Structure 1
């Protein structure tokens, strides 16, 4: 089976999905270097419209996960430059025609791949990362392109099962055309060298990711202020790391030395360092689909405190790989943090469970890729 994977994200989940798929299939991977925050690739370092993976410095670190000779990086341009965008789309389409794939997996609705979408839509499987758009992120152009691609591409795959029925009902999809799989650990992060640090009894709580209203960061900060007001937990610290604009006044929290706010783009190497130095990761989201943050934390076997929204309870098994709490509650976050802080044996058991389930068990990338292959085989049966 020959597969072309069209992506806007070079790393994150996709490098792991491709790595798992290439054990069973012949996989060609395309990604677009546009915004460094999306895929960690600097487009200004690219000399050609389409570069082979062997020519892209940032990808050399991942040669054990990606077949670089079958990886292509498009030097991206914004949608506003419509003629350049369509030219890139034409160039990509010429490459894909030479490959002549049996199927195409696409994870986005960018114009970069639009000509190929028109030509190969009956052979396409679309990954729907966000079955429902996050609150505060319903941008007009994104919604428009999303609707077009949903119409063109019949077969879709979600990365959690819990939202599948709601997705089918909301978008009036045919149930047999909507499959589901799941995310596993973001093992690309383990390719980065981690600096050794002096072991202390510091218990660091980490939030990382793009700053956005639906992330519920204020609930986490207010929970930590309650911890600061008590004298028993002087070894607890909080780190908030990510780029974006806060939807509340952050200045009142900056005055506390045990709260560290890194409001900037976090490179993958720095992210790996932050996670490795943390004790627990918190996802205080007010709404969600699935979360790459959780899978990044699991790559270092860190337990996660997550709210009971979207597909997060599928990813965090309560009392097994972390804790599930009610959303929009600083008190719930406060209680969960102290529960883990006060029970080191529980944290150790959770780390063991993460390894057993996600590295080699039922939630491994090999198991996820098998569901992708099942979805592609359904497309094949449709054409018979």
Structure 2
């Protein structure tokens, strides 16, 4: 089977997924030079990596880029093209020129998250058109299959579920650099990581911290990532001195250090499809507290990697954080299960093997 992957965003997902598939079959990956040139060591050497100059959405260089990409596809003659996200605007114009090669597209989010300014820059018709032009699509959970069918009006038999793979490159980086935990032994560090937009539930976390009072000695709350300014919600904080706010893009070594230092990773989301933070936390063996939105419960509860609480409920979140902090056996068990989940069920090679089987079924049907 001659497979061509096209991946621009999300970068960490693209790396983990391509590595997983490459462990099971030959893979060609086309990716943006600006994003991936410095990350080639994170990719399996078996991958045939083709870096291209990938213009921004508004660039007039896009037609020339699409022509180069289409020529490459005609030269390589893949049996199947797998587009690893449906959010690349200009690729919609090139898809008709790739036919009759079957196109499979991964949908990470079936609808726009509230306050997600990054994705909101993309015209609403663009991801829908890409799904419409794709023979088959992939989502990351059973509930998302139903959501995708309703949102994109795609036949259920054309919507397939592949788990979001674990993303071990930060844990690998920590080992390669010999990084170790720096947080004080008498502290309990809670990490909220990623793009801090309204749907991520930062306000719920701040209210939960205020409700905790002195129930968790040594409590530290680390909020790290770009997006909305957390200090705009300072009035919700119980004790502002507990907070370590890093409102910016976080470089890779700092990401690794943040997860090493965390005792608990929280995802207090108001709304979500799935999460890229969970597969990173699991590779570090970190327990989690998540809200019951999207696929978060289905990712956490069956595997015993943490606690699940109702969304928009600071009291429940505070109780869960306190329970984790006070029951170190529970904390350790959830952490061990998280690492086992990352190495097993959602290990990149395991997900890659499932993808290989899916490709074979699609081609057999074609």
TM-score norm. by structure 2 comes to 0.90
Counterpart of 1:218 in structure 2 is: 203
Counterpart of 2:150 in structure 1 is: 169
Q: 1:7 to 1:60 in 2, by over 3 A?
A: closer
Deviation (angstroms), 1:97: 2.1
- Aligned residue pairs: how many? 357
Deviation (angstroms), 1:156: 0.3
Contact 2:180 2:260 in 1 (8 A): no
1:93 counterpart = 2:62 = no
Cα deviation per residue 1:109-134 (whole Å; 9 max; x = unaligned)?
32454455223355111000012221
Deviation (angstroms), 1:247: 8.2
Contact 1:254 1:261 in 2 (8 A): no
Segments of 5+ residues of structure 1 without an aligned counterpart are 35-40, 42-52
Counterpart of 1:38 in structure 2 is: none
Three-state SS of the structure 2 residue aligned to 1:15 is: helix
Q: 1:287 aligns with which of 264, 271, 278?
A: 271
Deviation (angstroms), 1:197: 4.1
Q: 2:228 aligns with which of 245, 250, 253?
A: 245
1:377 counterpart = 2:360 = yes
Counting only pairs closer than 5 Å after superposition, residues 283-362 of structure 1 correspond to structure 2 as 283-317=267-301, 320-359=304-343, 361-362=344-345
Segments of 5+ residues of structure 2 without an aligned counterpart are none
Contact 1:89 1:111 in 2 (8 A): no
Q: 1:318 to 1:2 in 2, by over 3 A?
A: closer
1:62 counterpart = 2:42 = yes
Deviation (angstroms), 1:335: 0.4
Q: 1:88 to 1:111 in 2, by over 3 A?
A: farther
Counterpart of 2:194 in structure 1 is: 209
Point out the more displaced range, 97-106 or 271-280: 97-106
Counterpart of 1:9 in structure 2 is: 9
TM-score norm. by structure 1 comes to 0.86
| Superposition RMSD in Å | 2.3
Q: 1:74 aligns with which of 30, 46, 52?
A: 52
Deviation (angstroms), 1:140: 6.5
C-alpha separation between the residues in 1 aligned to 2:259 and 2:231? 25
Deviation (angstroms), 1:325: 0.5
Q: 1:4 to 1:140 in 2, by over 3 A?
A: same
Contact 2:206 2:238 in 1 (8 A): no
Deviation (angstroms), 1:365: 2.3
Contact 1:9 1:32 in 2 (8 A): no
Counterpart of 1:44 in structure 2 is: none
Three-state SS of the structure 1 residue aligned to 2:245 is: strand
Cα deviation per residue 1:207-244 (whole Å; 9 max; x = unaligned)?
010011111101101111222x32x5331110000101
